[in-house]
Amino acid sequence: MSATLEPDGTHAGVPAYHFDNRLGGPVLSHQHRWDEMARTHSGFRSTIARGYWVVTEGEAVQKALQDWRTFSNTSVTALEPNPRFLWIPEMLDPPLHTTWRRLLGSAFSPKTVAAREPEIRQVASALIDELKDSGGTDVLDAFARRFPTLIFMRLMGLPEEDLPRFLDWVHDLLHLSYGEDPDGNRQMSAMNAVSDYFEEQIALRRESPRDDLLSRAMTWTIDGEPIGDRDMHAFCILLFQAGFDTVPISIGWALYHFAAHPDQRKAIVANPSLVATAVEEILRVYSFVVPARKAMRDVEIGGCPVTAGEMVMLPLAVTNRDPGRFDDALEVDLHRKATNHIAFGSGPHRCLGSHLARLELNVAVEEWHRRVPDYRITPGQDLEQHGNMYGIKQLRLEWGQTP
């Protein structure tokens, strides 16, 4: 994939391109392409399938995410304005969305999350201890994917021996290229397996509740009614999608970045108090979430004449890498003071798991560098990233024996 898109005429007077966010490409290619499009356009039309609008003006992206009356979450999939599935709370609009967020708030609050820090640190440390004397490995498989997945399973009260199944499902659901799964069968069967798995877990807890998030959620009521199995299921599926890939992707980018920038790596090893800003900068510069919304009325945004019912894609990278918003916007600056990135989104759907994600990322970067302070990218790899969310596919690092 090149940084330049293939033009496909115009649509309602706006430049149109054959733009497909599902395609993977060389490492950083998506971020560079967003830079290029943001430099030259405030918005454009994608001609993939029935087509959708893409906003590339940083401020406009954030405003749209906050304007839920105009830009609804009833669909969040650019290619599918009328989905037949529901993810809770992501695909709800206020006021029902607000009710769910209130119920979920305490489970993901800064205080609840901070109480889990010792356990989170212990899980990260144990995983890194296992691999630190190996001299090198694919750090995504050996660490970045296992660590947050284990934490998430504990939070939900799911048995840890199911970890390998979860990692396989995440892979088949989110990481397969067109060539690996041309008819989408593997993806569909992973989706069915995840769906059956959560159905079973919900039924188990209806029978005998436990001390976990799923059991607690079953005691909640909305407008006086208990939450039914269908909504519990929609909630589990969303948490699975939101919570499983995002932290691994970010850890991957952090290790990639510090392998490629030895001076910054040495700085955080010498001064771990820089890690908090480093994590925010990695989230900002390597931004990978690309939300979409459904327009509820005719509206113009980023120069695009959007008609009610059409889909609008709102890439966070264009806001987070906007030179009008950040000095040296494309650089990770370990001393940056500005904190107004939107890697966790903006508006009512801002990431519910952001405190947990931040803690996991801080712990991962701190504990990794405590144990493996000096490492580099193993030569001879063609580093590639997935489409949709831009996680690195494989990242082999190598290091000397640690003391």
- Contacts with ligand HEM, residue ranges (CB under 6 A): 65, 76, 89-90, 101, 152, 238-239, 242-243, 246-247, 250, 283, 289, 291, 343-345, 349, 351-353, 356-357
Task: Compute the least distance from the CB of residue 244 to ligand HEM, in Å.
Answer: 8
Closer CB to ligand HEM, residue 294 or residue 369?
294
Instruction: Find, among 358, 113, 122, 336, the residue nearest to 251 by Cα.
Output: 358
Can you tell me which residue has the tokens 């039924």? 203
Query: Nearest-CB residue to ligand HEM?
Result: 353
CA distance 142 to 59: 38
Q: Nearer Cβ to ligand HEM, position 132 or 284?
A: 284
* Minimum gap (Å) between residue 291 Cβ and ligand HEM: 4
How many residues does the structure list for the chain? 403
Please state the closest distance from residue 2 (CB atom) to ligand HEM, in A: 26
280: tokens are 């925010």
As measured in angstroms, the least distance from the Cβ of 279 to ligand HEM is 9
Q: Would you say 149 and 247 are in contact if contact means Cβ atoms under 8 Å apart?
A: no
SS3 15: strand
Reduced to 3 states, what is the DSSP secondary structure of residue 388? coil
Mapping DSSP to helix (H, G, I), strand (E, B) and coil, where does residue 16 land?
strand
Query: To the nearest whole angstrom, how small is the minimum distance from the Cβ of residue 352 to ligand HEM?
Result: 4
Report the amino acid identity of residue 336. Answer: R
What are the strands, taking DSSP E only, across 108-157? Answer: 136-138
Minimum separation from the CB atom of position 94 to ligand HEM (A): 10
Closer CB to ligand HEM, 5 or 92, in the complex? 92
Nearer to ligand HEM, 278 or 356 (CB): 356
Which is closer to ligand HEM, CB of 90 or CB of 231?
90
Residue type, 294: K
How far, in Å, CA of 228 to CA of 17, rounded? 43
The two beta strands, 221-222 and 225-226, are antiparallel
| DSSP-assigned letters across all residues of 172-210 | HHHT--TTTSTTSHHHHHHHHHHHHHHHHHHHHHHHS--
Compare residues 128 and 357 and give the one whose CB is closer to ligand HEM.
357
| Residue 134 backbone dihedrals phi, psi, to 5 degrees | -80, -15
Q: How far is the CB of 18 from ligand HEM (least distance, A)?
A: 24
Q: Which is nearer to ligand HEM, 75 or 264 (CB)?
A: 75
Of residues 5 and 28, the one with the C-beta less far from ligand HEM: 28
Give me the least distance between CB of 366 and ligand HEM, in Å please. Answer: 16
Q: What are the residues facing 53 on neighbouring strands?
A: 45, 312
